[in-house]
Chains A and B, each alone.
Chain A
Amino acid sequence: MQEGKPLQSKQINRELLLTILNSPKWFFTTVSVLGIIVMVAMGAAGYMINQGFGVTGLNRPVMWGFFITNFVFWIGISHAGVMLSAILRLSKAEWRRPATRAAEILTVFSLMTAMTMPLIHTGRPWRTVYWIYTLPFVPYDYARGIWPNVRTPLVWDPSAVYTYLTSSILFVVVALIPDFAVLRDRTTGMSHRIYGLLAMGWQGNARQWKLQIIAGVLLSALILPVFVSVHSIVSWDFGMAVSVKSWHSTVFAPYFVVGAVHSGVSAVAFVLILLRYVYGWQNYIRHEHIDALARLLVVVATGWFYFLVMEILFGFYGREADEIAVRDYQFMVSPWNIWMMIFVGVTYFLPVAIWLSRSARRNLWIMSLACISVNIGMWLERFLIIVPGLARKQLLTFDWYTYTPSAVEWIIVGGTFAMVTMLMLVIARVVPLIPLYDIKEGEILRTEIKIGRVTVPAVFRED
């Protein structure tokens, strides 16, 4: 698994800092267009807050729709960072090197984006302060005996997400220190001062490297439980509700976590392909890396599919009329049954069929298609969990209803995709999206061994 020519340190610095020290012509135009889309989405959110939920498609009994679907989707994407960075770092997978930084940064931005969704969904975002504070100066009428319910998963959720966001930012910053020092030494004026501040006196001596490596490994190990808890708790937003029959399932926690890794790693693979194309990083993001990601995805996707099957089978297993009503709605009633087929097809069968072929794994166009397909499917998955469950929540059929998203919801959801893309492009102007020191370390450790007449790629290993 070592393709391409050996790279020199100077070349690595020059090529990977290109995005920061020079701006391509398309950069400002693209960022401006994306910025406008984000502004329009913010306008739509403002309009909705001003006019009320009447401008959305949300109505009884389906009070969760596009916003919560989108929230779960972006939380899912955020799982790429830890999966690729922490787990692959701990398991010392060499091919992780070019993927880690982009994955970590995608984690941070997708978490930030995810958090906007429940805020918008509350309809009156300022009132969320009551969930967090119970201080005297907050004008909340405790005299009426109404208290925030700290035992609900809806309170565990922001706690877990904010913990994950904080630790992810810490994770990114610690990994960035040596690269900040490189940037400090290559910039002047204000940039030099800012990078100098961020580099925190990094000189690259043995003690600093040791500390940085230990910090990286420790953070990797510590962030893992947070990573698992985040999507588990998101799943318990659903799983703890006994009133919605199809949600009260014990498998939801691992099912959501594996699903999140599936969508997150697919998203990172797509981002890497995009970076390779946009910035010409063919020497760094090589076919072997995308190939390895695809092979990992075969395992992740199959694990996810197993959980999906468990979830559906045990839905029918109980033979309870109210749950059968939901399943009937999901699998038999149009258009939900069509969406269901599309969802399973594009999330598992199509991409895995592609990933089983080596030549397809190494074709970047096909890989992009597979990764986008997974994410369309994973978005649909959350939608198909939320809406049919709520639509058949009530026991009596005259209370059954459906949901159709409004234009306002489409615009806001579309805006979140523009926002993450814009933020990724902007951050590429500030920090290298491929870690310089990690690539350099990989170059030092690469070697070859001869077996008979064959030369085999090899690596040095400390443990």
Chain B
Amino acid sequence: MAAAEPKGHGQHSGMWIYPDAKVISQDVSEKSKDMAKPFRTALVVTGILFILAIVGFIARAADDGFDEIGPWGYYTALFSMLFMVTSGAPLAACAFRFTKSHWRRPLSRVAELFSIVSILNLLMFIPMMIVLPSLENPAGSVEGQMELRRSIWFEGPIGAPHAWNLAGVAFLTITSIAILWTSAIADMGEARHSATGLKGWLYRKLAGGWYGTKRQWNVQKAGLALLGAFYFMIVVFMHFTISSDYAQSLIPGWKDSIFPVLYTVTAFQASLGAILVTLFILRRWGGYEGYIGKSTFWSASKVLLGLTLLWVYHLFAFFITFWYGRLEVEQNIIKYLIVDTYSVIFLLNLAFSFVLPFAVLVWNPVRRSDWGPSLAGLLALIGGLMFNIRIFVGSANAAPGENIYHFLLHKVPAPVYPDIWDLFIVVGGLGAAVFIYLVSTRILPILSIWEVKEGTFYQKWGKLHRGEYQILGKPE
């Protein structure tokens, strides 16, 4: 038994749990070794999907090559979806650690493990780099076309945007893995003598010098704070470049300063959604109900509600400015991405990113449950996928060939529907991401053991007057 009976009264009944610090390490490492049948089944299913994704990719490359970005629209959308989740999730761990929120403790490692999936992102980005059209018009100076298409890189530097984007994605992946390593070093250090085989070798290599001295703890915490701050800046910058280079700059005349912000908000919302869904699975079927209390869902749900409202606010700010302005190009962009060409996808996007999560999260009793926030998280994930399909498929196919060098979008293009290879790529790619995540949970414990243990010192259940309440210790 890792935890006592959940505490709380009235509407907060069973909200808080207090794990037993003495048995956490052993219990969690045993759970990490366990290869139960449902886990094995999930591994096989997602493994098959991974293979489908590879088949889809090869078929797409064989059919269309890498000359045009249009056929790679769904691939780009999938990349962006995974990029949003894998870049946003480690940031959630850093941000809640920075704000010293105790409820984040069971969430941290779940979020940081997404950084291993970001390796898939890095690999996926290589073909994307090839298909992105050049900034310079190959035809040179032509009447009615720009010599240099609009881009956030303006007239330089050399290699922009391709090489710089690749370097950015690589840098992001490396930093997120560095955060995971810094966070997990204490857990690996503790388990290095008991772990055997590949895991034991890995732990000894990665945490050989860890003895848990005061100095090491201080360095680890300072390192996490610094890496977190650094990572935040890279995430925001890379969201800006990816959303500009692979979306905005591909639609002639689309000048929308809020779009990178909307992209970032969608990313944060989708990544928190992914974290909540993972936490729910772990709590319900993973045997972690003694570590992941409802209080984690309750607190995270408020953040998700805030992000959901921010999402619709930013979308509205974009829409109203374009709609009210009545400029031809802006009207065409609204028709293309919102009210005409991709209107169905837009409605699904609006429903899953705002209407449905909001309708779920606005109720206090639902937010206090474990299923409510997780359901909202799942909806936000679907909404994120719709967002990416709408934007990235739309952008990749807005101005084929030399049209990309035109000043403005003069007519509204037709929609592009997925073919069988696109379906293989999207569904298989999502499966591949889950497969990698599942494998990573066998390498590192899915709970940040040291953080959960630390939490047991700072969270108590105590008496005040005639009632009993949660006591939260606030260091500093």
Contacts and interface: CB of A to CB of B under 8 A. Distances in A.
Interface stretch (B56-64, B125-133, B256-264): B256-264
B472 A459 contact: yes
Interface stretch (B34-42, B43-51, B321-329, B377-385): B321-329
Interface string B311-351: 00110011011101111000000000000000000000000
Interface string A13-40: 0000000000000000000000000000
Interface in A257-311: 306-307, 310-311
B472 A458 contact: yes
Interface stretch (A179-187, A313-321, A430-438): A313-321
A317 B135 CA distance: 13
B65 interface: no
Contact of A449 (B151, B324, B471): B471
Given A307-B261, A316-B154, A456 B255 contact: no
A462 B470 CA distance: 7
Contacts of B11: 463
Interface string B161-183: 00000000000000000000000
B152 interface: yes
A333 B464 CA distance: 65
Contacts of A461: 469-472
A463 B260 contact: no
B157 interface: no
Contact of A460 (B260, B317, B471): B471
Contacts of A377: none
Contacts of B151: 317
B54 interface: no
Contacts of A228: 313
B411 interface: no
Contacts of B12: 462-463
Contacts of B474: 1-2, 456-459
B246 interface: no
Contacts of A457: 473-474
B458 A319 contact: no
Contacts of A313: 152, 257
A236 B257 contact: no
A314 B261 CA distance: 12
Interface string B92-124: 000000000000000000000000000000000
Nearest to B249: A317
A365 B338 CA distance: 52
B140 interface: no
Given A236-B321, A250-B317, A463-B12, A319 B150 contact: yes
A311 B260 CA distance: 11
> How many residues of B sit at the interface, in one of the four size bands?
35 or more
A232 interface: yes
Given A242-B325, A254-B313, A314-B257, A447 B471 contact: yes
A263 B460 CA distance: 38
Given A236-B320, A242-B325, A463-B15, A254 B314 contact: yes
- In this complex, which of B15, B324, B476 has the most chain A Cβ atoms within 10 angstroms of its Cβ? B324
A250 B322 CA distance: 8
Nearest to A318: B255
Given A306-B236, A458-B472, A461-B471, A447 B462 contact: yes
A429 interface: no
Interface in B227-267: 236, 240, 255-261
Nearest to A447: B471
B121 to A, nearest CB: 23
B475 interface: yes
Given A310-B258, A317-B152, A318-B150, A456 B470 contact: no
A346 interface: no
A228 B326 CA distance: 24
Contact of A451 (B15, B260, B327, B473): B473
A293 to B, nearest CB: 15
A171 interface: no
A189 to B, nearest CB: 37
B457 interface: yes
B74 interface: no
A458 to B, nearest CB: 4
A444 B257 CA distance: 48
A459 B321 contact: no
B298 interface: yes
Interface in B287-326: 298, 302, 313-314, 317-318, 320-322, 324-326
A429 to B, nearest CB: 36
Contacts of B152: 313, 317
Given A254-B313, A317-B152, A317-B255, A456 B261 contact: no
Contacts of B15: 463
B257 A250 contact: yes
Contact of A240 (B256, B324, B471): B324
Contact of A251 (B257, B458, B469): B257
Contacts of A78: none
A318 B257 CA distance: 10
Contacts of B258: 250-251, 253-254, 310
Given A248-B325, A250-B259, A254-B261, A317 B150 contact: yes
A100 interface: no
Interface of A: 1-2, 90-91, 228, 232, 236, 239-240, 242, 248-254, 306-307, 310-311, 313-319, 444-445, 447, 449, 451, 456-463
Given A460-B471, A461-B471, 18 more contacts: A91-B302, A232-B313, A236-B320, A240-B320, A240-B325, A250-B318, A251-B258, A254-B261, A254-B313, A306-B236, A310-B258, A318-B255, A457-B473, A457-B474, A458-B471, A461-B469, A462-B12, A463-B298
23 contacts: A2-B474, A228-B313, A236-B321, A236-B324, A242-B325, A250-B318, A251-B257, A251-B317, A252-B321, A445-B464, A447-B462, A447-B464, A449-B473, A456-B473, A456-B475, A459-B471, A459-B472, A460-B462, A460-B470, A461-B469, A461-B470, A461-B471, A463-B298
A-B interface, 9 closest residue pairs, ranked by CB to CB distance from nearest: A314-B257, A251-B257, A253-B317, A250-B258, A456-B473, A251-B258, A458-B473, A318-B255, A250-B321
